[in-house]
Amino acid sequence: MFDGLKSVEYLYLVDNYITEIIPGTFIELLSLKVLNLSSNQLTELTDFTFTEMSSFIHLFVLDLSNNQVTKVAPDAFSGLVGIFQLHIHVSNNQLTEVAPQTFINIDML
């Protein structure tokens, strides 16, 4: 989806009525520092939503606030490893289920 955009550092997809993130969607964005998906219509973060993102060592902010997320699967963030420091924003959602092991592989949260 984002082929040829390897140098993009800031991606703001705010208020776009996004309902689902297909695993691997952001795999080409190797320089990404901020991914803002706030104010969409996401309802669930399934396993491997952010898979194959281990090369995202520059990612600093992942904003998922103001959606309708009720469930975060245990391996939703499994691809976010090796990141120095990461801020994940999930405020103003409707979270009812987050597995205890969800953030276990993220070194610097």
pTM here?
A: 0.87
Whose tokens are 């990141």? That residue is: 83
How far, in Å, CA of 42 to CA of 19, rounded? 4
How many domains is the chain built from?
A: 1
Note the pLDDT tens digit of each residue in 36-81: 999 999 999 988 888 766 667 788 899 999 999 999 988 888 777 6
Distance CA 20, CA 57 (A): 24
Q: Range of 51's domain?
A: 1-109
* CATH number of the domain encompassing residue 53: 3.80.10.10
